[in-house]
Amino acid sequence: MVDIHHEVRCDAPVEVTFAYLDDYRNTTKWMFGLSRFEPTSDTVRGVGAVFESTFAVKPISLSSTIEATGWEQSALIAFESVRGFRNSSSWRFAADGPER
């Protein structure tokens, strides 16, 4: 199993950053290698939202169905695969000042 840890600081309020990353339509814009991220459930955010995803690792593409397993406004987004390529991810958000 591979664990990837990455930390980013952003010059925007945490609420703005969270809203951008929580919008599934932006996911392929910011997640390197992700070529498809489409909702398959009635809900598109929060616990229980389900997505079909494809992650390109040249020369192959890995597909999986993922479900949101954790969600807290401006603090956490977490996913677990339920079918296909096994993966999990969690994204934590914390302000380190009024504008960051």
Sign of the dihedral defined by the CA atoms of residues 98, 21, 90, 55, in that order: negative
| pTM, full prediction | 0.88
| Span 13-33, pLDDT tens digits | 999 999 999 999 999 999 888
Give yes or no for residue 78 having a pLDDT over 80: yes
Give yes or no for residue 93 having a pLDDT over 90: yes
Extract the tokens encoding 95: 């302000």
